[in-house]
Amino acid sequence: MDLDAFEEVNRADWNRLDSLTRQRRLNGREADELLDLYQRASTHLSMIRSIAPESALSNELSMRLSRARTRFTGARSNVLEDIARFFVISLPAAFYRIRWLTVVVGVVFVAVGWLYGAWVANTPGVIAALGSDEEIRRYVEEDFVDYYSENPAASFAGLVWTNNAWIAVQAVAFGITGFWGPFILYQNAQGVGIAGGMMASYDKLDVFFTYILPHGFMELTAIFIATAAGLRIFWAWVSPGARTRSQALAEEGRALITVALGLVLVLFISGLVEGFVTPSPLPVWLRIGIGFLVFALYWVYTLVLGRRAVRAGYTGDLTEEDQGASVLTA
């Protein structure tokens, strides 16, 4: 099929469809005409996509159909329904699809952190290379704990949220490179491991875990999720399967946005725990218990609602209506 000739023949119908879409009020005849032109243009789009699915003409006609569909379907769903759909279906589905990759990333992080900690604690000369004895003692006996309480809880929680969000954004946004997310993960594992090794060298490992675990359960999981999401889109680029690379990147990228939005809430909650629970005078078991409860609730949410949503066919991607996808008609 000659696309230029096909466009020339049908351009008048497409322009008329645009004109009716922009028109404020439609009478009965015009509304019928709009529906008829929409169905006709949908058929045209299916024909074009069978020959040149990634062409400019295909994208242009898809946008025209999207605008027309919004015109005749009327108002969108209630805002509260959209929010409920996001949290009950889209977000858990997106989290669920990267659950195993999240676990793998977490295991690697813990392994790297443990190796660095063991190296610092057991290798002669490493502690001395990190600073003077006075500096190290001040860190393990004062600075490590004071970090969590030197600022008001609310402002500290906001600072933590911003910092962790920046780390997560980098892991997500540059995930397509395939190395930036793992590099950030490695840096953080290295930092946590060295800190733990320093504390262990001065018999303060119990203090280390007392102040790391309450918020660390969920905070680190959020970083694992962000890294896993970035690696997912990288793999969609490397191995798109039956899809074209642009289609694979578009689908995984939209689901990635869902994950990123969910991480805003996850990091907010972990920031609250770090700001208000970690430095609090609550018993150690209760502080760690609160952190673990938040962590457990995330996984229950992901595994229960996520499995249900994925089995129902959801992936965390936008609906066809929101994508602007075409509707094929006979």
- Counting other chains too, the contacts that 306-313 makes at CB distance below 8 Å and 24 or more residues apart are 306/92, 306/93, 306/94, 306/95, 306/96, 306/97, 306/99, 307/96, 308/92, 309/88, 309/89, 309/90, 309/92, 309/93, 309/96, 310/93, 310/96, 310/97, 312/89
- What tokens were used for 220? 């680190």
Dump pLDDT digits (tens) for 212-250: 999 889 999 998 998 998 888 887 777 777 777 777 777
Amino acid 156: pLDDT = 66
The angle that helices 3-22 and 56-73 make with each other, rounded to 10 degrees, is: 20
Amino acid 249: pLDDT = 72
As to burial, measured by CB atoms within 10 angstroms (0-12 exposed, 13-18 middle, 19+ buried), residue 100 is exposed
Distance CA 181, CA 202 (A): 32
Amino acid 73: pLDDT = 64
Per DSSP (E only), the strands in 238-328 are none
First-to-last CA distance in the chain?
19
% residues pLDDT > 70 (the chain): 89
- What tokens were used for 256? 């990635």
> Of the given ranges (61-65, 118-122, 243-247, 268-272), which has the lowest mean pLDDT?
243-247
The alpha carbon dihedral of 131, 132, 135, 137 has a sign of positive
Average pLDDT, the chain: 82
pLDDT, average across residues 49-74:
76
pLDDT, average across residues 98-119:
95
% residues pLDDT > 90 (the chain): 25
Amino acid 72: pLDDT = 65
pLDDT band (50, 70, 90) for residue 289: very high
Cβ-contact 102, 168 below 8 angstroms: no
Amino acid 324: pLDDT = 45
> Of the given ranges (59-63, 151-155, 272-276, 312-316), which has the lowest mean pLDDT?
151-155
Distance CA 131, CA 117 (A): 16
Residue 77 reports pLDDT greater than 70 = no
Query: Measuring CA to CA, how many Å separate 239 from each of 43, 49, 228, 251?
Result: 31, 22, 16, 13
Residue 9 reports pLDDT greater than 90 = no
Amino acid 323: pLDDT = 47
Dump pLDDT digits (tens) for 140-192: 888 888 888 776 777 767 777 777 777 777 777 777 788 888 898 898 899 99
Amino acid 330: pLDDT = 38
Distance CA 112, CA 182 (A): 12
Distance CA 10, CA 235 (A): 39
